[in-house]
Amino acid sequence: MEKVSVIVAVYNVENYLTRCVKSILQQTYTNIEVILVDDGSTDTSGILCDEIAANDYRVTVIHKKNGGLSSARNKALNIIKGEYLTFVDSDDMIHSHMIEWMIEEIKTSSADFVTTGLLSVGDKMPVEENLKVKFDVLDKEDFINHLFPNNFGRISVTACGKLYKKELFSEIRYPEGEIYEDLRVYLPLLLKCKKISVSMKPLYYWYNNTQSITRSNYLRYDRFGEFLVRENYIEFFYKRNLQDQVWYAANEYLTFFMRNYFAVMIKYKSLKVKLNPHINSFKRHLKLICQNPYSCRMRKLCAILMVKHPYISYWIAKKTIPDCLIEEMR
């Protein structure tokens, strides 16, 4: 019975940690080790970690200075003992059969990793459906074709809701001091795979916590770092002559750029504080954006205005974007 390592990065989640770990320890697949990495929490999360470990031998706790999500994950990756591993964010929960079903599938299909759907939830655990989950086995190129909307739906690029063979991470670690770490690691992981098994059945329950380790880093670091990563996705698909995927990647690039462009302009009341280097990068993709059949004319017009007439786009944003949305974007 192979061991599965479950990595949980913990930061200021005293209200959510117990239910998260409970959903892990109550898995029907019991041969697991749970590594809780307390990333310098300033609430009682670190104490809770120690209390949980004292009551279950399968739990190991690491206390470290705050370094962000990537740093916490890497700390755990360096000590895992399982043949397989999965990540669970410390305010989320998982279906009681998730690990059992995924390890059955990864052994049956000989996939390099297995991925399931994600379900956004509130404070309560959703009612579980104890039905067998159907998986589809894809080779690497087929999987790449399904990273954006398609007949499968959207395959998430988050690290969570997946079961990996340990050897995939033998030479891969998450980039520390940066956000969008999942996006940065996903393509290198894919390039090491031969087969991936996919189910859109939601076995991972995601909670939108604005104070989580992921969200707090998003607010702290340069929000435009993601666009460099998304540019890499455009180039990745272009080199493989996957034109539909190029269009979808370019459309997402535009969506994220518009969202953060207006937020930064309104927050700093300036176009020069943070935007100039990224505007120059954005200009290189303007032709691609304007040719994109998956973008409407209004989005294309906004893209042109941001490049050609930034002060007009700033004025429009001030007049049309609700204050609540501006706060969310910040």
Question: What distance in Å separates the CA atoms of residue 273 and residue 277, rounded to the nearest whole number?
Answer: 10
Identify the CA nearest to 173 among candidates 80, 75, 79, 74: 74
Convert 193-240 into a string of H (helix), E (strand) and C (coil). CCEEEEEEEEEEEEECCCCCHHHHHHHHCCCCHHHHHHHHHHHHHHHC
pLDDT (0 to 100) of residue 43: 97
Q: For the chain, where do the domains classified as CATH 3.90.550.10 start and end?
A: 4-213
Question: pLDDT per residue over 153-176, tens digit each?
Answer: 557 788 999 999 999 999 999 999
CATH superfamily of 4-213: Spore Coat Polysaccharide Biosynthesis Protein SpsA; Chain A (3.90.550.10)
Q: What separation in angstroms does the CA of 228 have from each of 178, 239, 246, 256? A: 12, 17, 15, 11
pLDDT (0 to 100) of residue 150: 47
Which regions in the chain score pLDDT beneath 50? 150-152, 215-221, 324-330
pLDDT (0 to 100) of residue 224: 58
How far from chain centre, in Å, is Cα 106?
A: 21
Identify the CA nearest to 10 among candidates 75, 56, 57, 54: 75
Residue 289: CB partners within 8 Å, gap ≥ 6? 250, 253, 254, 295, 299, 300, 303
Question: What distance in Å separates the CA atoms of residue 49 and residue 46, rounded to the nearest whole number?
Answer: 5
Question: Looking at this protein, which amino acid is placed at residue 184?
Answer: R
pLDDT (0 to 100) of residue 170: 96
pLDDT (0 to 100) of residue 272: 52
**What crossing angle do the helices spanning 69-77 and 213-220 adopt, rounded to 10°?**
130
pLDDT (0 to 100) of residue 292: 93
Which residue do the tokens 């991936």 mark?
196
Tokens representing residue 303 in the block = 């893209």
Residue 165: CB partners within 8 Å, gap ≥ 6? 83, 84, 106, 112, 113
Question: What distance in Å separates the CA atoms of residue 126 and residue 92, rounded to the nearest whole number?
Answer: 12
Question: What distance in Å separates the CA atoms of residue 330 and residue 318, rounded to the nearest whole number?
Answer: 14
Q: What is the pTM of this model?
A: 0.80
* Secondary structure E strands in the chain: 4-10, 32-39, 59-64, 84-87, 93-94, 113-121, 136-139, 162-165, 195-207
Tokens representing residue 273 in the block = 């504080």
pLDDT (0 to 100) of residue 324: 46
Identify the CA nearest to 99 among candidates 114, 110, 111, 109: 114
